[in-house]
């Protein structure tokens, strides 16, 4: 009789342990599901609300296929104990619950999108939420769209970085080594300039302005006399001297979304930078090779318009981070006029270039009328 009681107790203890494990596995899924109910539902989530169920069904089908392919447990070791079967079933249920509770993360919006700037229309149906086109000689505004909005400017920052380095008249043949301090910890972007790479200051400036090399730009600021903080201070001081009241810099690459400016301020910067022969030459260079150890690395311009015979570009710079969208500033001659163009927060990979083409065709098409005003 005592033996029978002990057997019943063992079975009850075993069953209690299985139940505890099963509920322990499913508890996190319930919590995740509760979090989803309390979180705001993004538009992307609403469209894809049926997707988790489909994923779960697919997972179930894959599970059944694997079970069919696996050798029968009866043939290998006889009938499995009931406790183990229950545990396996609980694990599968917990797995399906976890898949069903998966969160669909919406694509990150730019600052301009969040502010509703893309809702503003313009005659050319530009893809950029901010645009400014003006005559460099007369300062006449030919086209404007949200031109006083202050937004992140991404690698357009490097134009000020280049201006400070160029006007400092530092030796361009001085050797500078890329260090761990130059590695991007903001966006974790990649670079072909490995830690330990040593190049001349002039080479780093070329790569920063032409191919928007982040480690090159950071190394230029880090090795400026007085250090990085002194360099950033010089960037902000220069902006203030130029009357760029809406501009603020916190680092020399543009990886930080705290580097911000407006289209009018950037047009001012383009006008000043265009007066520097070195910046004109480096920003419009189609490609450039540097020797790194025993290798020759070729870098290309991030703006493919510099290769086009239809464009006469005197200075340019591109930029992109998710918070800023795709950006472009240029000085170019179109229909006999020197124009400064600023495009910020452009949607789509080629939106900013398409906007520049729209402006060029528009000015060329109405060039006679525009010139008749002067």
Catalytic: 212?
A: yes
Tokens of residue 81, six digits: 């104990």
The total number of residues written for the chain in this structure: 374
Kindly name the residue from 129, 155, 166, 346 that is annotated as catalytic.
155
CA distances to 57, 61, 63, 73, 94 from 68, rounded to whole Å, are 17, 11, 9, 11, 21
| Distance of alpha carbon 196 from the chain centroid | 26
Asked if residues 162 and 273 have their Cβ atoms less than 8 Å apart, the reply is: yes
3-state DSSP: the chain helix, strand, coil percent, rounded to 5?
50, 15, 35
Helix (H, G, I), strand (E, B) or coil at 325: strand
Active-site residue, selected from the candidate residues 29, 110, 129, 158: 158
Q: Give CA angle at 116 (113, 118), nearest 5°.
A: 70
Cβ atoms of residues 121 and 235 within 8 Å: no
Strand duo 128-135 + 175-177: pairing: unpaired
Q: Which residues pair with 131 in a beta bridge?
A: 145, 343
Choosing from 212, 256, 257, 261, the catalytic residue is: 212
Instruction: Give CB contacts under 8 A, 24+ apart, made by 179-185.
Output: 179/219, 179/222, 181/218, 181/222, 182/214, 182/215, 182/218, 182/219, 182/222, 183/215, 184/214, 184/215, 184/218, 184/253, 184/255
Among this protein's residues, is 155 annotated catalytic? yes
Q: What would the two tokens of residue 107 be?
A: 């694509």
Q: How far apart (Å, rounded) are the C-alpha atoms in residues 94 and 338? A: 66
What are 367's two structure tokens? 């060039």
CA distance 126 to 66: 52
Collapsing DSSP states into helix, strand and coil, what is residue 334? strand
- Residue-by-residue DSSP string for 153-215: -GGGHHHHHHHHHHHHT--TT-EEE--GGGS-SSS----SS-TT-EEEHHHHHHHHHHS--HH
Q: Which residues are catalytic?
A: 155, 158, 212
């Amino acid at each position: 009789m005592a033996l029978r009681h002990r057997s019943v107790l063992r079975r009850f203890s075993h069953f209690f342990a299985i139940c505890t494990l099963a509920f322990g596995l499913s508890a996190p899924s319930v919590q995740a599901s509760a979090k989803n109910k309390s979180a705001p539902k993004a538009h992307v989530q609403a469209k894809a609300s049926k997707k988790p169920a489909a994923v779960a069904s697919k997972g179930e089908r894959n599970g059944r296929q694997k079970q069919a392919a696996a050798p029968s447990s009866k043939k290998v070791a006889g009938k499995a104990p009931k406790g183990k079967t229950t545990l396996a079933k609980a694990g599968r249920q917990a797995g399906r619950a976890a898949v069903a509770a998966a969160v669909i993360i919406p694509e990150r919006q730019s600052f301009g999108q969040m502010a509703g700037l893309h809702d503003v229309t313009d005659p050319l149906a530009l893809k950029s939420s901010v645009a400014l086109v003006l005559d460099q000689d007369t300062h006449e505004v030919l086209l404007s769209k949200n031109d006083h909005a202050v937004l992140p400017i991404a690698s357009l920052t490097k134009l000020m970085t280049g201006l400070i380095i160029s006007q400092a008249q530092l030796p361009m043949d001085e050797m500078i080594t890329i260090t761990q301090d130059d590695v991007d910890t903001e966006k974790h972007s990649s670079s072909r300039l490995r830690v330990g790479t040593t190049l001349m200051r002039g080479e780093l400036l070329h790569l920063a302005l032409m191919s928007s090399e982040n480690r090159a730009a950071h190394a230029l600021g880090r090795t400026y006399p007085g250090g990085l903080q002194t360099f950033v201070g010089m960037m902000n001081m220069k902006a203030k001297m130029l009357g760029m009241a809406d501009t603020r810099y916190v680092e020399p690459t543009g990886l930080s979304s705290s580097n911000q400016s407006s289209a009018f301020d950037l047009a001012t910067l383009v006008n000043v930078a265009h007066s520097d022969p070195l910046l004109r030459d480096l920003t419009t260079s189609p490609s450039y090779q540097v020797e790194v150890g025993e290798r020759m690395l070729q870098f290309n311009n991030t703006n493919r318009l510099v290769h086009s015979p239809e464009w006469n570009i005197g200075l340019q710079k591109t930029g992109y981070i998710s918070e800023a969208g795709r950006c472009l500033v240029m000085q170019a001659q179109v229909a006999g006029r020197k124009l400064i163009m600023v495009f910020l927060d452009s949607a789509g990979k080629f939106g900013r270039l398409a906007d520049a083409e729209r402006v060029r065709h528009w000015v060329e098409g109405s060039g006679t009328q525009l010139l008749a005003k002067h």
